[in-house]
Amino acid sequence: MGIANPADAGLRAVYVDIGKAKQLQIDVFDNGDARIAEVGSEDYGLLIGGQFYIVDIEGGKPTVARLADVATAIDKVLPPIFKGLFDQPAAAMPKTRLAIEAGGAGSAGGRDGRVYHVKGLDSGNPDKATDYLISEDPELKPVGAALEQFMNAALVPAAPLIGAMAPEMIAETRAIFALGTPIDVGGRFRLNLAGKAAFPAAYFRLPAQPQTVQQLVAAMKLSMAKKP
């Protein structure tokens, strides 16, 4: 019978960024791949087989780049900053100065978690603690994986400005996400809902061939040459 295959089961998680009045949506396929984007934005990220890809839409045309390749290209254009960090195991991450203390139980978006008091994130006030409500719910694990890489994707392009702070901040993010999936960060960024959803497999496929490191390097050099 010519009936279309039903969409496979998955999970949709929506976070609310209180200060910016924005929402972040993370859709997870049944194999653990994920798609993440700000609600209302054409651009998005794809976590496929453990690799994170940035999808930029301009004029309706998608451009794709693997996050690790963007970092490698930056290291070829500038004095090395990342040094293959994204292609190394988690154990190879730089050491952090974070002090993490477990607190009490809590919940957000219908999911239970434990509060962790994290000190050392503010270099100007290292004793200042930020409270992270962390869930160890296995269903949310791919949500956390996509969220971590999405945060890294915001840091990598800033590397030319912040230099060595970029890998340090990535290592701090890794240390926090190693505890589980954040579902509330200081009351400012909070899981609103997480529930079953269905998606077609094509929703998690790359819309174009990823750019090579050489192509990324050429684009970066061209952009730098245009700047006054």
Cα separation, 28 vs 55, in Å, equals 17
pLDDT of residue 201: 82
The DSSP code sequence of 30-65 is TTS-EEEEETT-S-EEEEETTEEEEEEEETTEEEEE
Instruction: Give me the pLDDT at residue 124, please.
Output: 86
Residue 228 has a pLDDT of 62
Q: Does domain 8-223 have CATH number 3.30.43?
A: no
3-state helix, strand, coil in the chain (%, to 5): 30, 35, 30
Running along the chain, 228 residues long, what does each successive block of 10 average in pLDDT? 51 93 94 96 96 95 96 94 84 84 97 97 90 97 96 92 91 95 96 94 94 96 78
DSSP notation for 174-193: HHHHTT-EEEEETTTEEEEE
- The confidence score (pLDDT) of residue 136 equals 97
Tally of CA atoms within 13 A in the half-sphere of 133 that contains its CB: 19
Q: Which residue type does 152 have?
A: N
Res 7: pLDDT: 53
96, 142, 153 from 148: Cα distances, Å: 16, 10, 9
Specify the pLDDT at position 9.
80
Domain ranges of the chain: 8-223
Confidence at residue 199, expressed as pLDDT on a 0 to 100 scale: 92
Instruction: Name, in order, each residue with C-beta under 8 angstroms of 159's C-beta and a sequence gap of 6 or more.
Output: 71, 74, 78, 81, 82, 166
Give every CB contact of residue 35 below 8 A, 6+ residues apart in sequence: 26, 27, 44, 45, 46, 47, 146, 203, 204
Closest Cα to residue 182, out of 132, 228, 139, 219?
132
pLDDT at 226: 74
